[in-house]
Amino acid sequence: MKSMTALLLAVLLPAAASPGLAATPPRPPAYTPLRPVSECLRPDRINEWHVVDPHTVIARTGPNRYLVKLRTRCPRLGIGQSLRFQANPSNRTVGMGALCGEAGETVASRDQAPCPVQSVAKIDKARFDRLSAKATRHGTQP
């Protein structure tokens, strides 16, 4: 009889705990890439960039403006007026070279090792102008 009670408890306890687990909200994905890909930041089209703080870079490609958030603190980014935006290997392989906020993308400069990108988002001119006024470093691409 004791073994039957133990077996019944072993079956019923996990089932009773399931409703509580279902109520837990799902974790957001580590990356939420910008889509469609045609809206992503193209490094070969950058006219100007600004390092707002150690976690934030903004860039302009003609009329399009982008907010690039970094996963780690990058205090030496943009020193020497140099900034390199690097797409992930799969986007480089297919010839896109675009930064969409996917795993493997980086921003680097002469005095800063590559910093992993967390997200890339399009922003409007007003926000770009507000952020660029706070920027510690800036530059233009040739």
Collapsed DSSP state (helix, strand, coil) of residue 18:
helix
* CA distance linking residue 20 with residue 78, whole number of Å: 48
Look at residue 111 in the predicted model and tell me its pLDDT.
87
| 23 part of a folded domain | no
- Tally of domains within the chain: 1
* CA distance linking residue 69 with residue 128, whole number of Å: 14
| 29 part of a folded domain | no
| Residues near 65 by beta carbon (within 8 Å), at least 6 away in sequence | 58, 59, 122, 123, 124, 125, 127, 128
Amino acid, res. 46:
I
| 83 part of a folded domain | yes
Look at residue 120 in the predicted model and tell me its pLDDT.
97
Could you tell me the pTM of the whole model?
0.77
Total residues found in the chain within this entry: 142
| 2 part of a folded domain | no
pLDDT tens sequence across 94-133: 777 899 999 999 999 988 999 999 999 999 999 999 999 9
- Parent domain of 136: 37-140
| 22 part of a folded domain | no
| 110 part of a folded domain | yes
| 24 part of a folded domain | no
Start-end of H helices in 24-102: 89-93
Element (H, E) at 56: strand 56-61
pLDDT tens sequence across 109-118: 988 999 999 9
